[in-house]
Amino acid sequence: MSEIPEIREEQVDELLLAARERLAFGWTQGTTLQDLEGAPTSDPSEAARFCVLGALAHASHALHSDVYTYHSAMQRLCEVIDPGATRAAPLVAIPVWNDAEGRTQDDVLAAFDAALSRSRAAAPAQLA
């Protein structure tokens, strides 16, 4: 059985930041990816607008992130948008939150900013 690698917070930060950049360029609801004209697409090379999960997946692929980094990034974001969610819930909580009526692109970017501010890599070392 293979061992789970240690999660490097810098990689999680990098993934969250790359996804945030995609969302700042173009955000959508109700579909994972849209092209420049706003039509849904399944081709990542045509993507110009992203839902939160679409942005995370697109950035993860571009960065060659492993599954543990991807899940850790989703978990950290989920801690911001749905603090009561269980560790298995990000795949449900994130799209529900993204697609909620009244949600705005500014809300999404603010959630990413908050998740990035929770970085353990950026936090000062704690004295025991």
Share of the chain above pLDDT 70, in %: 84
Predicted confidence (pLDDT) per residue in 74-95, tens digit: 999 999 998 876 655 777 889 9
Give domain status of residue 126, yes or no: no
Q: Is 125 inside a domain boundary?
A: no
pLDDT in tens, 39-74: 999 998 999 999 999 999 999 999 999 999 999 999
| pLDDT surpasses 80 at 2 | no
- Position 117 pLDDT exceeds 80: yes
Q: Structural domain of residue 49, as residue ranges? A: 9-117
**Helical segments of 26-123, H only:** 52-63, 67-81, 90-98, 105-117
Q: What is the pTM of this model?
A: 0.85
122 has pLDDT over 70: no
Amino acid identity, position 12: V
In a domain, 3, yes or no: no
Instruction: Please check whether residue 4 lies inside any domain of the structure.
Output: no
Residue 124 lies inside a defined structural domain of this protein: no
**Residue at 42 is within a domain:** yes
Total domains, the chain: 1
| Residues 91 and 54 sit within 8 Å (Cβ to Cβ) | no
On whether residue 127 sits in a domain, the answer given is: no
